[in-house]
Structure 1
Amino acid sequence: MRAYLDFLRVTYAARLLGGTLLGRLPNGMAMFAIVLHIRAEGGGYALAGTLGAVFGLAMAAGQPILGRTMDRYGQPRVLLPAAWLSAAGFGLIALNGGGPLPVTVGAVILAGFATPPLEAGLRALWNRVLPGPAQIKTAYALDAAAQEILFTVGPLFVVAAAVVNTEVALLLTGALGVAGTLVITTSPPSRTWKGEPRAADWAGPLRSSGLRVLLLGLACAGIALGVYAVAATAYAERAHDDLAHGILLAAMSGGALAGGLVYGARSWPGDDHQRFPWLMAALAVGYLPLVWAPGLPVMSVLAFVSGLFLAPMLACSFTLVDELAPAGTVTEAFAWVVAAVGVGGAVGSAAAGLGQELAGVPGAFAAAAIGGLLALATCLAGTRLLTPPVDSWRVPPNPPP
């Protein structure tokens, strides 16, 4: 019987992680697909970039709202309608073509706001599927490492679909979101999951001061991540090498994947709230040499190193979210993580552009270093608040299926 239950847990875990990665591919595709489509329809870079930012901000706004709704009504009732609405938004962008701009803006907002909170939903399920904190922490590390693949593979899907036309790229983006959501919502853990009873408080998880500090730190780390894509583009233009942008992004993602796999492969000494500032410090230090912006061979190594502590930092933050979030708010709390990183990324994109104008490529990468240092300063200032309450690992309110 024990062997059978272990087999079920492994099967459920693989299905949930695989389905979530499939459904989150649009996160790595959407902005690129929107920008390509607007450019193909004759829109300028300013309009294309603005619409991409609108999508990101709409998604950041929608995740906590959908997460709170999931805590109250379960996963399938929220995830499936959201996935179909988001796909409808992408379809409307494709069908509208170069039509009225307000229609395009509305479709972009719909596609972003209704993006199903699969990340938050998955992390809320690990407590049910896996037997204990050690296995959950490993799952968080694998989750954080695997999601780096999305931002490498996603744009490749867009490029392949855009060979036909950019409308196909948009429709594929929406369809993948629906497909991944169906994999998740038809699984027993998702269908039977119920949120814990929660206090009647409008602030939800934000009433936790430790969680607020954590979210602010992650938003600052998001600034560094948002800087990276813009700064890598500026680097490629300066080097007159179209491949440099992709190489730097792949190198950073490869570093994050390697770091996540190493971090998840073993247990580490100390508590998570004590380890988190050290991981954030290592991440911040990794961004500093990028300001040098040397030739591509050396820069690729620096990009790899800059990603090494990203997945471990995120995995540690996921554990802290689970420990700091008040009962009944765990899905919304994880959705706030997505929102915080997303808002930070939008700020980082703007900061990179300003830095590039003021000081060229080194100025663009300097914005990433500043974001990393701000994240570290936030964590150090709020170290005491990051300490979770005793016995914070909660027993799931309903037994594993």
Structure 2
Amino acid sequence: MSSSSAALSYAAVLRTRHSCRAFGAALLGRLSYGMVSLSLVLAVEGATGSYTAAGGVMAVFGLTSVFLSPARAWSVDRYGPRRALPPMAALYGVLLAGLAAATARPGVPVLTLAVVAGAAGASTPPLGPVMRTLWRTLIPGRLLLQRAYSLDAVAEECLFVIGPLLVGVVMMVAVAPVSLAVCAVLVAIGSLALARSPAVRIQEAQNKATAASPGPVENTPSGPAAGPPRAGPRMRQAVAVSAGVGMGLGALDLLVIAFADQHRAPQAVPWVLAALSGGSAVGGLVYGAVP
């Protein structure tokens, strides 16, 4: 390997000061996201005996998580990760623990589960976006930053390999609600560790310095007072395509579970979901390695 290649390698990303601590904390918290979908579907199905109910509750969880993500991102931008992440993580963890307790025995109304799941989705800490903004603070140079983003994406896919397998391990010794409780613990620990990492302090110090320094006067509005950017035709097309892909991928988990159950092979579900994410991780590594 040439010296220039070594300087732009994935290892170089991890050697950057403070990156391992922040990245490790973010990955620990995001491991919860690799487990929560399967855990929630299995827990709700076990409590209600209905995949329709499980799919509905999971849909509510996903919809509130997606549609309220701009509000959570605004909160992080406005108050900073150190002040915004801990309350979100605490609320998210408590609500997941509530779902675990509610699904521990049958007979809970589906509407109750949907409301609690919706509230949990609405409070999901944006650990991925926060980490991706931290990479810009930690990593010097555009090419090495590309490696960092690729590493981040691949590591996240690996979490979606590990997550279902961990759910499978939990299901061997316990029940699905226990895996929901594990999700709550993981996101709480990871979020608090990320919020207290030196990388976050450096980023906030840089933001304060930028805000305090006088800059050129712009003719167009910017910052918090500015309105949202207008979406042109290309942006709307990209959003529509992403929404279609997202709906297909979102339905896939439930379909895999139902299909495996129909064929009396529930033990295959973690392996199928892990294989899907593993293929995505390989694709991410290839993408990141090619300029």
**TM-score normalised to the size of structure 2?**
0.77
Q: Which residue is equivalent to 1:147?
A: 156
AA of the residue aligned to 2:175: N
Decide which of 139, 157, 164 is 2:174's aligned counterpart: 164
Match of 2:230 among 192, 197, 207: 207
Match of 2:185?
175
- Counterpart selection for 1:223 from 236, 247, 255: 247
Residues 188, 63 of structure 1: alpha-carbon distance in 2 compared, 3 angstrom cutoff: same
| Counterpart check, 1:255 vs 2:279 | yes
Residue matched to 2:9: none
- Counterpart amino acid of residue 223 in structure 2: R
Please give the secondary structure, in 1, of the residue aligned with 2:18.
helix
SS state at 2:223 partner: coil
Verify the 8 A CA contact 1:9 1:130 in the aligned structure 2: no
* Contact residue 89 and residue 111 of structure 1 kept, 8 A: yes
Match of 2:55 in 1: 49
- 1:250 corresponds to which letter in structure 2? A
Give the superposition deviation at 1:41: 2.4
Residues 1-400 of structure 1 aligned to structure 2 (within 5 Å): 10-97=16-103, 98-162=107-171, 163-194=173-204, 198-203=223-228, 206-207=229-230, 209=232, 211-230=235-254, 232=256, 245-266=269-290, 268=291
Q: CA separation of 1:125/1:65 partners in 2, compared to 1, >3 Å: closer, same or farther? A: same
Q: SS where residue 193 of structure 1 aligns?
A: helix
Query: Which amino acid in structure 1 is aligned with residue 230 of structure 2?
Result: R
Instruction: Name the SS for the 2:158 alignment partner.
Output: helix
CA shift, 1:160, in A, is 2.6
Which stretches in structure 2 are left out of the alignment for 5+ residues? 1-11, 212-221
Residues 60, 192 of structure 1: alpha-carbon distance in 2 compared, 3 angstrom cutoff: same
Instruction: Compare relative contact order (CA 8 Å, sep 6+) and give the higher one, 1 or 2.
Output: 2
Q: CA deviation at 1:244?
A: 5.8
Task: Measure the CA separation in 2 of the matches of 1:190 and 1:59.
Answer: 23
What amino acid sits opposite 1:201 in the alignment?
A
TM-score with structure 1 setting the length: 0.58
Give the aligned residue type for 1:86.
Answer: Y
Rounded Cα–Cα distance in structure 1 between residues aligned with 2:165 and 2:116? 23
| DSSP 3-state at the match of 1:179 | helix
Q: Give the Å deviation of 1:150.
A: 1.9
Amino acid aligned to 1:136: L
Q: CA deviation at 1:262?
A: 2.5
Q: Whole-Å Cα distance in 2 between the matches of residues 166 and 235 of structure 1?
A: 18
SS at match of 2:174: coil
Unpaired segments of 5 or more residues in structure 1?
1-5, 269-401
Could you tell me whether the CA contact under 8 Å between 1:75 and 1:193 is conserved in 2? no
Alpha-carbon displacement from aligned partner over 1:290-344 (angstroms, at most 9, x marks no partner):
xxxxxxxxxxxxxxxxxxxxxxxxxxxxxxxxxxxxxxxxxxxxxxxxxxxxxxx
Deviation at 1:123, TM superposition (A): 1.0
Deviates most, 102-111 or 242-251 = 242-251
